[in-house]
Structure 1
């Protein structure tokens, strides 16, 4: 799955932030935070089915990621950062997966269309005889 997300964060402990980012480097902080967020989102997504993710449990997914980043093993406190919000903007399937799903959907629709045509021909032959 391809996940597009963003994080709102603030510095909660400048001393920790300064030492963990090599002198208060925001790019380094963003890089470290990005890794933690991506790992956490992968974990949250991995514990759900595709149907759950697409059908609307996105809020639970984001809340679970935020909680995990706020406390526990994946906490951003060691970086001197407090995560305010985690949002998933978009979730997509890779192109090869999407195309195989569309092919399967087309095949299913074609089968239904063939069934309807055969039923129509059967009824037509009954009425014309």
Structure 2
């Protein structure tokens, strides 16, 4: 039996968390959600996901700021960070480059959410060092 990979989603929107969890959960993927920025680092340390989907537009502490905080921990745990946002693609590409995270996924594009997450996790299983999420 193959190891179940874990995706953690941090978002302030409960509906997006619920929807994304439903779309991604499977026999091969466990999805853990966390609402909002606060307490996310503690949860991240506990979960140790393979992939972190991080909403950019959260109040108080944005996803970009949170990415800066958790990036060293994610490197240590070999966890990829993808921004998961309703921002336009040009803005997301800039945020990815500026924050040196692995990629982005646009909210609302269900096919892209499934495909990019599955492709990234499959590449991890196959030993790829780094996979572009763009």
Common fold: TM-score over 0.5: no
Q: TM-score of the superposition, structure 2-length normalised?
A: 0.23
Please tell me whether Structure 1 or Structure 2 has the larger radius of gyration of its CA atoms. 1
Structure 1 or 2: larger helix share? 1
Taking CA–CA contacts closer than 8 Å with sequence separation of 6 or more, which of the two structures ends up with the larger relative contact order?
A: 1
Q: TM-score of the superposition, structure 1-length normalised?
A: 0.24
